[in-house]
Amino acid sequence: MTTAPTGDAERRPHPAPRHLSDVRDATHVTRQAAVERLRAARLYLCTDAREERGDLEDFLHAALAGGVDVVQLRDKGLDVARELELQEVVARVATEHGALWAVNDRADVALLTGAPVVHMGQGDLPVPAVRSLLGAGPLLGRSTHSLAQATAAEADPEVDYFCVGPLWATPTKPGRDAVGLDLLRQVAETRPTTPWFAIGGIDADRLDQVLDAGAERIVVVRAITGATDPERAARGLRERLPA
């Protein structure tokens, strides 16, 4: 006779798919190693999943070979199942190149994949909530759009890096007003001890303005994702950034 499952059995959580455990084991980075890599990082890439081209893995190898230090998959069009599949690719390729990889917005995805970096915007989960879910292990990044937000990120011991922008209007963030280079100068003048990145519309033509305003680290999207030769584009940017 078959017995019906008990309520406790029905509520028992299902184990994570085996491949996620494999990802965590194969791509694990200690917090101290991640901190050191982040402090040395200068070029941070955000990319979509490149589903139409179907070349995400080849693209990542090229961009990372060109000098990208941190890579983040940011694609709002993905469902969670597909994002988990692609985060496995990002994790594996980044690890092969000794680079960091970041999960955007999704603390649950970061937890399942063991991502060494998780990035949150001002409208996402607050810092204490992220730490409550993920613990002290992953590095936590924060978007900032004003001097007050940047100052708050700098003062928060739970924030490991922050981004300042968008400097120019960008289709990546529709409806978000550009903050301009003046904010970049203001943040640079405070001499943050937390690593920080300029973000938003930065490309090879605008890079000198960004550096002159005081930034030493940048986040780019189309400057590499839209390049016919991503490795060359990444190398061209990385070589102009401080050592």
Does the annotation list 11 as a binding residue? no
Does the annotation list 225 as a binding residue? no
Q: Which of 126, 144, 161, 136 is nearest to 36 (CA)?
A: 161
Does the annotation list 201 as a binding residue? yes
Does the annotation list 73 as a binding residue? yes
Does the annotation list 171 as a binding residue? yes
Does the annotation list 69 as a binding residue? no
Does the annotation list 15 as a binding residue? no
Does the annotation list 43 as a binding residue? no
Does the annotation list 209 as a binding residue? no
Write the secondary structure of 11-59 as one string of H (helix), E (strand) and C (coil): HCCCCCCHHHHHHHHHHCCCHHHHHHHHHHCCEEEEECCCCCCCCHHHH
Does the annotation list 31 as a binding residue? no
Does the annotation list 75 as a binding residue? yes
Does the annotation list 172 as a binding residue? yes
Does the annotation list 142 as a binding residue? no
Please provide residue 208's backbone torsions phi and psi, each rounded to the nearest 5 degrees.
-60, -40
Q: Which of 220, 149, 207, 154 is nearest to 181 (CA)?
A: 207
Q: Angle CA(30)–CA(32)–CA(37) in degrees, nearest 5?
A: 95
Does the annotation list 77 as a binding residue? no
User: Given phi > 0 = left and psi -120 to 50 = alpha, else beta, which region is 5?
Assistant: beta
User: Which residue ranges make up the annotated binding site?
Assistant: 72-76, 104-105, 124, 143, 170-173, 201
User: Which residue ranges make up the annotated binding site for Mg(2+)?
Assistant: 105, 124
